[in-house]
Structure formats: structure tokens, C-alpha cells
Structure 1
């Protein structure tokens, strides 16, 4: 999967500027599935435009910089449909927190407890963000087919529900680990 396919999917929902992609999509929802910074988004938009998968229309503004509004082309739609129908491989996860814990046995107990508390706090914050996203999630109503729109919303909600459940599982695991660690260190 690439950032290009994420952007194609977002532009299929509606026309957007690069700024809109970053602030409305990546900052508010997609970041928990596929993070991207502003520079990555704009580089990818340039690449997609050169491949003729999207077009750009410049909207002249008098008191602000001109807006570049991006739209999906027929070729972009075909590429998105091709990608959507292609099974995706499992990707190995990179989790710096788990790797840190894997080697943390050599640290003092107080340091390990502090690391676990920090991770627990970070996952609680992420859970709150995911729950907020899931509660306000709406599919753009540009899809005219009501059944398709309902299906799209249902699938997106299931993905958001999975994000919430994943964070709850992480929190449960960290709480269990912290309890076990505290029990073993108080028994020593």
C-alpha cells in the first residue's frame, strides 16, 4: 500500500486541496491508519498528477494564495479500483515501544515502571482520539447511491471500531504487565 492509494481513495470521496487532505483527513482520521506529513502529501499529489491519476484546478483568490483543488481522473479511478481488488500482504509491524520493553530487563525497576506508565498514558490518549473519531465519523454524501453510501459508512465504522478495540487491548495488556511487574518487584 502506498500513500498514493490513500489519497486516491480520499479524492474519490470528494475534491480536496492538499491542505484539506492534511487537516480534514490525515489529522482527523487517517493518521491512525496511515500517517503522512504535509510534504509527503504534496509530493504524492505531484506524482499522481504526473501519472494523470488526478487533475489540479487552480482557484484564484484575491486576498489569499491561490487554491489547488485536486480531483480523481478516470485513470485514477481505475487504479484505485485495481488496488482495492488486490489482496494486500501482511506487513511486519514496527513497534518501538515493544522493542524497548523487549530489552528493558536490564533497566532499574523504577525506570521500567515509568516506561510502562508512559506507554499506558499514550495509549489512553490515543484511545480517546480514536473514540472521538469513531463517534463523529461520516462518509461524504457525494455518493448518490444510498445503499453504496450506507455500505461505505458501515465498513468505515468497522475499521474505526477496530482502532478503538486495538487501543483497548493495548491498554489492558499494559495494565496487566504493570500489575505483574509491580507484584514481582514488591515481592522481591
Structure 2
């Protein structure tokens, strides 16, 4: 997956500012795709240059104009083309698992501390995942599609199972 396609997917739901896109990333797909604010803005600029996204300036009183981004027809075509393509499997890199693989070199006390720390990190991730259904309920009000909701929950379930 590319950040470009994730942004196109969100803009296919409705127009967003770059700031609002960052918030929606952090409350929806963060468990499998994260992006910082500068990456989002760079990608929005690239998508605009490609003609896949259009930007509209909305005047605000006593504040700079808001830049609201909309998906274009060619952006929708690109999104559908990408969605229809066979998925590319990501690289299965996991630094913690490489450490576990070679952990026989460590004394038991150090291993226990390492595994307790790893378990604490995983519990923290699980706590984040447990917040996602709450966010999905909020998004369900904005995008009332049971089909969309099903696939959102499917990705969450995958995230939890792959921990």
C-alpha cells in the first residue's frame, strides 16, 4: 500500500484538510499504516500535481485560508485500479522476533526482563486497538455503510490477531 492510495481512499469518502487527514489516520488505520503530518502534506501536493486530487481554498475569518482536498475523477479511477490489483505482500520484518530468535545468548534474568518489556509494549498496542471500535462508531455516523464498517472491523481483527 502506498500513502497516496490511503489518502485517495479517505478523500473518496469526503473532502478533508491535511490536518483532518492526519487525525483520521491516527484514529482509524494507525494500527497498520501511519503517516506524519509532513508526509501527508507532501503526498497531497504530489497527488494534486498528478491531477488525482483537487485543492480548494476556503476563506476563514481571522485565520489563514483552509486548504480542502477533494478526490478527482482520475483519482477515483486510480484508486479503483489500485484496489483491483493483486495485493503486494509486505516484507515480514520484525526486529523483536529477530531478537527472540537469537535470545539463547542472554542469561535467563535478562530474558525475563526483555520478555516482560515486550509483553508490556504489546499490551499498550492492544489498548490502542481496543479504542478503534469507538472511533469506528464515530465514523459510522459520517459514512453510513455497513459494507465499509465490515471491512474496517476486518482490518482491526487482523491487527489484533497478528500481534
TM-score (ref. length: structure 2): 0.90
The structure-2 alpha-carbon separation of the partners of 1:83 and 1:129, relative to structure 1 and needing over 3 Å to count, comes to same
Query: Which segments of structure 1 move beyond 3 Å, counting only runs of 4 or more?
Result: 138-143
Equivalent positions of 1:116-155 (< 5 A) are 116-138=115-137, 139=139, 149-155=145-151
Q: Deviations over 1:45-83 (max 9, x none)?
A: 110000000001111223223211100000000000001
**Counterpart for residue 162 of structure 1:** 158
**Counterpart for residue 101 of structure 2:** 102
**Counterpart for residue 16 of structure 2:** 16
Cα RMSD over matched residues? Answer: 1.7
Aligned partners of 2:13, 2:88: CA distance in 1, in Å?
Answer: 25
Q: Which runs of 5+ in 1 are unaligned?
A: 168-188
Bigger Rg over Cα: 1
TM-score (ref. length: structure 1): 0.79
Equivalent positions of 1:1-188 (< 5 A) are 1-23=1-23, 25-138=24-137, 139=139, 149-167=145-163
Q: Which runs of 5+ in 2 are unaligned?
A: none
Pairs aligned (count): 162
Aligned partners of 1:28, 1:142: CA distance in 2, in Å?
Answer: 14
Larger deviation, residues 43-52 vs 157-166: 157-166
The structure-2 alpha-carbon separation of the partners of 1:106 and 1:12, relative to structure 1 and needing over 3 Å to count, comes to same
